[in-house]
Copies of this chain bind each other. A is one copy, B any other.
Amino acid sequence: VAGEFEIIEQYFSQQQLNRSDVVLGQGDDCAIVSVPLGQEVAISTDTVVAGTHFLETANPKWVAHKALASNISDLSAMGAVPAWVSMAISLPNPDEKWLHDFCEGFYPLANAHNLQLIGGDTTRGPLSITLTIQGLVPTGEALLRSGAQVGDHLFVSGVLGDSHAGLEVILDESKRSLPCASTLEKRHYMAESRSELGVVLRSLASSCIDISDGLISDIKHIMKRSQVGALIYVDQIPVSDELIRYCSKGEAAWKYALQSGEEYELCFSVPPEKIDELHKAVEQKGMRITKIGEITQNQDLRLFNHNQLLQSQSQGFDHFRESL
């Protein structure tokens, strides 16, 4: 059985790229990094725990991707570009196969973002991974939750709802026979990153958040911070063909889209006078965004389906209230 130090050296010291702003990487008490002039540092921490965020038996490659993607997503929502990441990993035992597969999910995503693993801690304990990611954003240009103004248009990137449907498949064996079940399961873990969109939005969006708790919950975070209300046209929310096929009736797909957490798409508000510029910018880069609503004055959230006001509002995802 390998010891703690050999594991770290073998799996986590060799596969990453070397950024020029990393003065000292792994192997000392701390990493040392150098921050370029004119940049601020954006920092986020996220934990994924076996039994809460993924099943113990889940594909380690997918788990790694999900853990890192959720962290990159937090940076994207601020318009920050990934730079450095620390990893604390607890394992019941030093399972080399698991670590090997984990690295196969971790490094391709990290390296694609020019993100360097600068250190971490490997301990014995129930399976969990905590990543602390740091990114760079030009001074004063970070996208906050607090800047939404009445009249701004509300957008989301990508499609919503697949992650929650995938979770259902993971948790309920009987759903495996539904159409597209395995595609949705994979999407639950393998979220795409919206880092490039976040950078584009720096000069365009008035507020931004990534959808980790669920669209409704996350819009409420913007509302609270910005002291505004919002309305959502649920029939406008983009959903995948696979989700529509998975749902027994087509119209239920938006219910998944409203409450699906861990989507890691961006939700953002844009002032009317910048809409044209927004569409030009995203078309140029082939990004998908969809207008789903507006920012309003009265501080509540109203949902409309084909111009009909809906009474009920689904709750967002809260790990203490609802979990595997």
Q: A49 touching B119 by the CB < 8 A rule?
A: no
- For A121, the chain B residues whose CB sits under 8 A away are 45-47, 130
Chain A residues 82-104 with CB under 8 Å of chain B are 84, 86-88, 90, 93-94
A209 proximity list for chain B (CB < 8 A): 29
Q: Are the C-beta atoms of A318 and B3 separated by less than 8 Å?
A: yes
CB of A119 within 8 A of CB of B44, answer yes
A78 / chain B contacts, CB cutoff of 8 Å: 28-30, 32
Contacts of A45 in B (CB 8 A): 86-88, 119-121, 130, 132
A113-148 CB mask vs B (1 if < 8 Å, else 0) is 000001111111110101010110101001011100
In the assembled complex, 28 residue pairs joining A and B whose CB atoms fall closer than 8 Å, in A order, are A1-B320, A3-B321, A4-B321, A23-B142, A27-B145, A27-B225, A29-B75, A29-B145, A29-B210, A30-B43, A30-B135, A32-B41, A32-B78, A33-B40, A43-B119, A45-B130, A47-B125, A49-B90, A52-B124, A53-B123, A86-B132, A90-B128, A93-B320, A121-B130, A124-B323, A125-B128, A126-B126, A130-B130
Binding site for B on A (CB under 8 A): 1-5, 7, 23-24, 27-35, 37, 40-53, 73-75, 77-78, 80, 84, 86-88, 90, 93-94, 118-126, 128, 130, 132, 134-135, 137, 139, 142, 144-146, 208-210, 225, 318-321, 323
